[in-house]
Amino acid sequence: MLELNDPVTIIGDIHGQFYDLLKILSYTDLLKSHMDPNQKVVFLGDYVDRGINSIEVTLLLLGLKIEYPHNVILLRGNHESRVMTEQYNCKTECL
């Protein structure tokens, strides 16, 4: 369970739609040069599948997590299997 205070943005089910993700992110501070230290952005999982840019979506989200480790929260959806996350030594805190 996560306890978060405002401001929080929740984004779900990207499904490999990279350009849609960029549009959504344009409404947050994540792509800007200054990030509000209290802003949290929670991604609900399902980053891959269906869309043709699953790799780009995954790389962008992991890059954002590295850049803003305390602001970006990546949850694992049903499209991200436990086998995949454990293979890369990234437990559920990461994805």
Give the pLDDT confidence score for residue 30 in this predicted structure: 76
pLDDT band at residue 59 under the 50/70/90 scheme = very high
CB atoms within 10 A of CB 47: 26
For residue 57, tell me if it sits in a domain. yes
Does the annotation mark 79 as catalytic? yes
| CA atoms of 52 and 41, how far apart (whole Å) | 24
For residue 61, tell me if it sits in a domain. yes
First and final C-alpha spacing in the chain: 14
> What is the domain count for the chain?
1
Please compute the mean of the pLDDT values over residues 34-63 and round it to a whole number.
84
Please pick, among 15, 34, 70, 79, the residue that the annotation labels catalytic.
79
For residue 93, tell me if it sits in a domain. no
10 Å CB burial of residue 86 (0-12, 13-18, 19+) is exposed
- Pick 89 or 46 by higher pLDDT: 46
